[in-house]
Structure 1
Amino acid sequence: MTRFAHLAIATGALFAAMPAQAADFVISTATGTSNGKTITDGTAYNTINYAVKSSDGKSTLNVRATAWTLLTNGTYQAAQIGSWGSNGLGIYQTNETTGGNYHTIDNKNGWEFLVLQFDQAVSLQSAVLNPYALYGNNYSDNDAFIARGSLGFGTAMSASALSTIADGLNVDTSKQSGDAWFNSNSKDYNGAAKQTYNLSPSKGGNVWVVGGSYFGPDGYNDAFKLNSIAVTSAVPEPTTWMTMILGFGMIGAAVRRRRSSSKAALA
């Protein structure tokens, strides 16, 4: 009975030390809420919230979406966010016309972007960006700037918080990507419906920024709506894995010592 009890304790400790399995989530931007009410197409909101079940149905991910503009004078300005059903999320920039597809996420008259805050760290797997042509343009382009950062889920997004996140990205306009950001190469992706980004899937953050191309080389205006986004709960960092492995070793050593003590006592 003593050996069985020791084994049960050791097994319980082992399972407790095991890392949580990564879970997959797909956020459909058409089915959110704002102030506790279901969103309606084309309505402007300050925030839109999502509660999404994992693909295996075992966990829930909470997401809060807000809209922003980086003005040409370098200041961040809060915008409003709207959903157009299966077409996706767009942005109402303050004092900008809503006609001519200007309710998209675009980079004309300032740089517009969505901020997605998650209640846990996630890695971005894919996103669907539906392209639109702005009024007066004879083309559509959906090049995008995507970046990750961190901010407590209970903390409301603000201009000062965005400045802090932006400073931490270390964006280099002579490059197309960095450790925590990627700016799609317009020359390769002009007008494409689907694009591939090279952000490492093992890198996670609980804040993700999705906006039009920030400094794309083609000079075209980008305009799109965010239809859906797929994420995976972040896996442990290598240092965390090492800590867990060491923890397993300590558990094994404890079991061996206990077994030796039991034999000595029985003798």
Structure 2
Amino acid sequence: MKKIALITGATSGIGQATALKAAEAGFEIIITGRREDRLQQLAAEIRQKGSEVLSLCFDVRDAEAVKKAIENLDDKWKNIAVLVNNAGLAVGVSPLQEGILDDWERMIDTNVKGLLYVTRAVAPLMIQKNSGHIVNIASIAGKEVYPGGNVYCATKHAVDALSRAMRTDMLKHNIKVTNIAPGMVETEFSLVRYKGDAAAAKNVYKGMTPLTNEDIADTILFAITRPAHVCLNDIVIMPTAQANSRDVNREA
């Protein structure tokens, strides 16, 4: 019987790459996201790889929508073995004293509350089986802070702390928890952060080779395919050209 993996924020970037790689590895996939057209396109690609797929269109910020989507799964799809809490974003680069409240709320509601809503809905299903694996996509911003990062860094510090808390809470239920903290990954991340300014987004990666969606998806797949007695608690993954959140070796 194939294992089922639920991946949030699957309509682009790391989530999309993870869904495809997990399908290739033999998982059946539940994909979630806000963009129905992209979900359907991804679902078709997953089916081409020979895996069954269920797409759920909702916003992780909507607690009731999350609860309803998970409660309404049929018995087969409730047998979730892996949850990848990938949905998240950074918005804006203003210093704290000039921060935009809507930006703050989007980040807090998605990165922290959304992760909590989905985990709260899925974890009891894993506890019933006394097995499962929760993967939280954090960031190097959850280990450090940097200028303009303020609230985004705070949300990812929260993810880091929640991953450690989940690990202890889930321990007696035989559920693994893995926190993955990437450095610079070239996705839609910077485009969203700079609110559609493509030039500013491209400049983030100027003169260096960032990580790709596939690099992080490979890391997730490695973590979720370890033997039953092995749990990777915390993984920090960086481009070779990046030592930390501020030190980057860029070619002239």
Fold shared per TM-score above 0.5: no
Where is the strand percentage greater, Structure 1 or Structure 2?
1
TM-score (norm 2): 0.28
Where is the helix percentage greater, Structure 1 or Structure 2?
2
